[in-house]
Amino acid sequence: MFEVYITKSGKYLPNKAISNDEMESFLGFINDTSSKARRIILRNNKILSRYYAIDKEGNSTHNNAELTKNAIEELFDASFSASDMELLSCGTSTPDILLPSHAAMVHGLLKNKSVELNSSTGVCCAGMNSLKFGYLSVKSGNTQNAICTGSERVSTWLMSSKYEKEVVNLLNLEEQPIIAFKKDFLRWMLSDGAGALLLENKPKGEISLKIEWMEAFSYAYELETCMYAGGDKLENGEIKSWSDYNPDQWLKESIFSIKQDVKLLDKNILVKGAQSMKEALDKNHISSDEIDYFLPHVSSHYFVEGLKKSFEEVGINIPSEKWFMNLARVGNVGSASIYLALDELINSGKLKKGEKILLSVPESGRFSYAYAYLTVY
């Protein structure tokens, strides 16, 4: 068995930062009307800016594979080139196509050499799952290095044009032409970007981060689906797949739109988060005092105080000054968020040898959670 170190990080955020007031000029107005939910959601999530891989005319400037490739290229230097890569492990919620895999499409853009590929799908934990695959590969000696990524290109999924047929259908039915909150909610939450990490079996450079352990938990066995796309939720809680709908319904009911069951989210996301984190810390005999930096992927600042309270109820006490978050500056970038936060911390100049970092990523898809504990070398 080998030790595993994060020896370099990279990121790519497309185009310029977009303010809250600019969002609808990029995403468009559904039924030519400003969203009534937008201001409330933005007030709660406290996101001030984000990045989109589209221009104001709705034209794509980058696809997901291109965002990921650009982040990966930040890892290459005189000591590590594209030809040195042995494993490429990519996680995303929003691949450009269903098939081939996201990692294969990224590899096709890199044009380096034959490497082992892994693609992790899901929601926010997809990035952590891709990291764990790389971690286990290097730790076992299967490879000497791995490049792991998390990325999202969700802006084109959120554009008003994607909901036009549904609005027309509602008008024809003489109903209010307002899309359901479960769809509108996420238009003001999600954004684009990519992050990448280089894993090697030896530390390198001024700062390396040793991965001490990684843990993951799923509660899908007891909880129904909360965040989903490519289907719709039935009254009994089951998900009906897009392939079981008629093609006409795909547009009329916005079957492929990203949706969130906000009531289910509020009921479970914090409770299960505290439960899983306590299990992870207890299993590895780590106390709250042994955490110098806590990097939680939080989808909205709305949850922060509730999360702190949930932690305290299970005996986890992490002072506010140890929390490191960049949500307000870069937005909720799903599986890429934890990569972007860690990259910012690595480049902040704050880290000191021996300090401990805990990464925490919840996923509301069907309530999964992933953690990583790092030591600064």
Q: How confident is the model at residue 181 (pLDDT cuts 50, 70, 90)?
A: confident
Whether the per-residue pLDDT at 36 is higher than 90: the answer is no
Q: How confident is the model at residue 137 (pLDDT cuts 50, 70, 90)?
A: very high
The encoded tokens of residue 243 equal: 């392939």
- In terms of CATH, what superfamily is 5-207? Thiolase/Chalcone synthase (3.40.47.10)
Q: What is the DSSP letter of 238?
A: P
Cα–Cα distance measured from residue 120 to residue 101, given in angstroms and rounded to the nearest whole number: 9
- Token output for 367: 């309530």
Q: What's the confidence (pLDDT) of residue 177? A: 55
Q: What is the CATH number of domain 212-219+260-376?
A: 3.40.47.10
Three-class SS state of 68:
helix
Cα 251 from Cα 84, distance rounded (Å)? 45
pLDDT value for 54: 98
Lowest mean pLDDT among 18-32, 33-47, 156-170, 172-186: 172-186
Separation in Å, CA 189 to CA 18, 143, 208, 260, 302: 13, 37, 32, 11, 12
Gap between the Cα atoms of 225 and 365, Å rounded: 6
Does the pLDDT of residue 173 top 70, yes or no? Answer: no
CB contact at 8 A, 125 and 363: yes
27, pLDDT greater than 90: yes
Same fold, 5-207 and 212-219+260-376: yes
pLDDT at 369 over 70: yes
pLDDT above 80: residue 89: yes
DSSP output for 15-27: SS-EEGGGHHHHH
Query: Which pLDDT band, with edges at 50, 70 and 90, does 176 fall under?
Result: low
Residue ranges per domain, the chain? 5-207, 212-219+260-376
Predicted confidence at residue 175, as pLDDT, reads 64
Helices (H) and strands (E) in the chain, counts: 12, 15
89-112 average pLDDT score: 98
Residue range 60-67: mean pLDDT, rounded: 98
Query: Residue 1: what residue type?
Result: M
Average the pLDDT over 74-87 and give the result.
Answer: 98
**Higher per-residue confidence, 94 vs 182:** 94
pLDDT for position 178? 61
Average pLDDT over residues 128-143: 98
- pLDDT at 45 exceeding the cut of 80: yes
Q: Percent of the chain, pLDDT > 70?
A: 97
Mean pLDDT of 201-219: 97
Question: Strand, coil or helix: what is 67?
Answer: helix
Alpha carbons 230 and 186: distance in angstroms, whole number: 15
Average pLDDT, integer, range 350-365: 98
Between 34-38, 293-297, 356-360, the lowest mean confidence (pLDDT) is in 34-38
Q: How many CA atoms lie within 13 A of 56 on its CB side?
A: 5
Confidence at residue 99, expressed as pLDDT on a 0 to 100 scale? 97
CA distance 40 to 355: 38
Is pLDDT above 70 for 339?
yes
Q: How many CB atoms lie within 10 A of CB 199?
A: 25
Residue 16 has pLDDT above 60, yes or no: yes
